[in-house]
Amino acid sequence: MTSCLAAAGVRNVTTRRSPAYAAALAFSVQNLRFAAACAHHGPAAVVVPASLAELRAAVLCAREARLVVRLRSGGHSYEGLSYTTDDAGGFVVIDLVALDRVRVDAGARTAWVQSGATLGQVYHAVAASNKTLAFSAGSCPTVGSGGHIAGGGFGLLSRKYGLAADNVIDALLVDADGRVLDRDGMGEEVFWAIRGGGGGTWGAVYAWRIKLSPVPERVTVFVVNRPGTVESVARLVSTWQHVAPWLPDEFYLSAFVGAGLPESDRTGISVTFKGFYLGRSHEALEILSARFPEIGLSDLNPREMSWIDSVVFFSGLPKGSTTSDLTDRVLHDKNYFKAKSDFVRRPTPFGELEGAISFLSKQPKAYVILDPYGGAMDRIAAGDLPFPHRKGNIHGIQHLIAWTADDDDHREEYMDWLRRFYDFMGAYVSNGPRTAYINYLDLDLGTNNNPSPAHPHPIIGDDGSPFYSEVEASRTWGERYFLSNYDRLVRAKTTIDPENVFRNAQSIPPLFVGALQMTRRTAHDI
């Protein structure tokens, strides 16, 4: 592969034999749980293309070398799937870090964003062009836009303007054959699939054309922590779940619950409310006074600022950071973590909620993030994009547990605790199936690696013999992320990448040639 890349003029290539290999691979590893795995399960090479031509060459040379392609835009894959593997297959990482240009057309309210640009770089460029335009996406500035958009992309503006993927109007995709396809070239089914069907699956998105949305000159923000007993915290969260999803679309009010939250000045269970409102502070206070006075208005101290300053406020960057710091793609406080996710369709009864918070109070390294839905999320149909968690979902849950290098010896204990808490929550969240969010990858849901005759999803062919169907094996996790959109995604994958060049442990599989003996006549039904 290296000679192929050299012939194509691609110079930024680091192989396992290079002394710079470890540094090149580790640069964008954001979950340190996978840092050690990189040495044993890392790629054959890390390729950093600096242009569209080099990206095409990287894809074609990897395919010629019969290597699987993994794409990395920011390195925030929760399960490390953009740079590690859990099987014996050879792969190459195409790191998009050098493809980070953002070109804004403020007059048209659009921008072209290369996939290697971080969300912070996108926000900084948008605000530099016009202070009253914004992009609806997540709050962590070091997240790569390529992977974030590919999985949907929820953020503080989503109740008003939908997901990041809802605001994509075109894209340039390099497919496994090296073709550069825009929306018309890839077709509407593939264009549908790349906007929420998961990253690293369809091809290499070189750039996205995004729609920008208007925001007022001043927005309102606040963060307030409320410590207390299990019962008092449960009462606040219980009220929140009956209020936040039905606030005006302009109001985003999330809740963080845990026994070790950074906003709390003491150890013990507490809830932190983070509020963002597209308007003036007196309006926000009037809404809360009428709808959620239990939050406590006397010391809420809402602040007014520009939208771009609010991005810094919620970014998690060190205190004193400025808007220019949004362009720094290095996450300063990396840690080890495991996450799981849920969607909730009805408020949890108080007694059960109190039990969950009691469970949570016993592990200070764990916490949950409750993101309110409703608003625009209710008005977008479940099949409009692959992300189906729309009308009827009142909030999402992200379950997390994080630790440091000092206690990494206990990682299995921590992850086991999180799984037990997740099991405890099973009766109070979505079911049939229990759903999850693809951007919060969770390999506990299943993988499509290592097909085995013992797998519980054999297919019986026309000759009566069983064979492995990766499409059916992947359904166990695929329908939890995508519900009935899973089958449509399989069809799109078969169209754009039938040989499965772009794949990982939870990428949508195509209908393999080996299965065509029985799928030729039924593919239109899948």
DSSP letter assigned to residue 485? H
Residues 239 and 381 reside in one and the same domain: yes
Residue 59 domain flag: yes
Burial letters for 104-113: b for 16+ Cβ neighbours within 10 Å, e otherwise?
beeeeebbbb
Residues 179 and 204 reside in one and the same domain: yes
DSSP letter assigned to residue 435? P
29: closest CA among 91, 93, 97, 82? 82
Residues of the chain with pLDDT under 70: 39, 87-88, 449-468, 513-526
Residue 436 domain flag: no
Residues 391 and 474 reside in one and the same domain: no
Residues 6 and 54 reside in one and the same domain: yes
Among 72, 95, 118, the domain-final residue is 95
**What is the per-residue pLDDT for 514?**
41
**What is the per-residue pLDDT for 266?**
82
Residue 82 domain flag: yes
Check if the beta carbon of residue 108 is closer than 8 Å to that of residue 296.
no
Cβ burial of 367 (10 Å; 0-12, 13-18, 19+) is buried
The CATH number of the domain holding residue 235 is 3.40.462.20
Residues 210 and 349 reside in one and the same domain: no
Residues 165 and 70 reside in one and the same domain: no
**What is the per-residue pLDDT for 334?**
87
Residue 453 domain flag: yes
> Which amino acid is located at 463 in the chain?
D
Q: For residue 187, how many other CB atoms are within 10 A of its CB? A: 14
Containing structural domain, residue 501: 446-525
**What is the per-residue pLDDT for 267?**
86
Residues 401 and 387 reside in one and the same domain: yes
Residue 434 domain flag: no
Among 75, 95, 115, the domain-final residue is 95
Residues 116 and 81 reside in one and the same domain: no
Residue 306 domain flag: no
Residues with Cβ within 8 Å of residue 128, at least 6 apart in sequence:
104
Residues 473 and 386 reside in one and the same domain: no
Residue 38 domain flag: yes
**What is the per-residue pLDDT for 465?**
56
User: Using one digit for the tens of pLDDT, what is the confidence trace for 307-343?
Assistant: 999 999 999 999 999 999 999 998 778 899 999 999 9
DSSP letter assigned to residue 502? B
Residues 257 and 364 reside in one and the same domain: yes
**What is the per-residue pLDDT for 449?**
62
Query: What does the alpha-carbon distance between residue 206 and residue 72 come to, in Å, rounded to a whole number?
Result: 12
Please provide the average confidence, as pLDDT, over all residues in the chain: 93
Residues 74 and 160 reside in one and the same domain: no
| Number of domains the chain contains | 4
The CATH number of the domain holding residue 66 is 3.30.43.10
Residues with Cβ within 8 Å of residue 147, at least 6 apart in sequence:
71, 72, 73, 74, 76, 77, 82, 199, 200, 439
Residue 315 domain flag: no
Token pair of 451, please?
Answer: 């097909």
Among 188, 214, 240, the domain-final residue is 214
Residues 246 and 370 reside in one and the same domain: yes
317: closest CA among 327, 305, 304? 327
Query: What does the alpha-carbon distance between residue 504 and residue 43 come to, in Å, rounded to a whole number?
Result: 12
Please give the full DSSP string across 124-188, using - where no structure is assigned.
Answer: HHHHHH-TTEE----S-TTSBHHHHHHT----TTHHHH--TGGGEEEEEEE-TT--EE-HHHH-H
The CATH number of the domain holding residue 121 is 3.30.465.10
Query: What does the alpha-carbon distance between residue 14 and residue 23 come to, in Å, rounded to a whole number?
Result: 10
CA–CA distance from 51 to each of 45, 98, 115 (Å)?
Answer: 18, 8, 12
